[in-house]
A = this chain, B = another copy of it.
Amino acid sequence: MTVKLEDARRIIAAAEAKADEIGQPMNIAVVDAGGNLVAHVRQDGAWIGSVDISISKAWTSRAFDITTKDLGDNAQPTQQFFGIHTTNGGKVAIFAGGIPLSRDGVVVGAVGVSGGSGEQDHSVAEAGAAAF
């Protein structure tokens, strides 16, 4: 079980609809069970610095089977995972916008969103994940 291109397109379409609704252009990325990119889109006007971040958020959520929001809470100074953001060649994102995608309780991929506030990114990722 993994995420196929057809799934990724459905997830991205749902995330784009949510981004349009809140009026904030976004980068949206989807990775499969192995953490490898399946698809990415940057909506017109979305930050170019967020291309990489959206992909990193998706990768991170699959790599640790956790939302990047929750990982971030554990990655603050004095918390148990502080420092994790510099591991894995800097590919670990520790702020909101990445959400794992599951089938039957098993994480089989993830979606990552970047382009607005942490709250906006997370809500757009949720809309995407709900379409899986």
A67 touches B (CB below 8 Å): no
Q: Give the contact-size bracket for chain A.
A: 35 or more
Starting from the known contacts A80-B117, A83-B85, 6 additional A-B residue pairs (CB-CB under 8 Å) come to A34-B34, A36-B51, A50-B63, A76-B78, A77-B77, A83-B95
Q: How far is the CB of A130 from chain B (nearest CB, A)?
A: 21
A131 touches B (CB below 8 Å): no
A33 touches B (CB below 8 Å): yes
* Residue in B35, B40, B48, B92 whose beta carbon sits within 8 Å of that of A63 in the complex: B48
Cα of A52 to Cα of B85 in the assembled complex, Å: 12
* Residue in B42, B63, B78 whose beta carbon sits within 8 Å of that of A37 in the complex: B42
Contact A44 B118 (CB under 8 A): no
Task: Please give the residue numbers on chain A whose beta carbons come within 8 Å of chain B beta carbons, in ascending order.
Answer: 4-6, 8, 32-44, 47-53, 56, 59-60, 62-65, 72, 75-78, 80-90, 92-96, 117-119
Residue numbers in B under 8 Å from A6 (CB-CB): 44
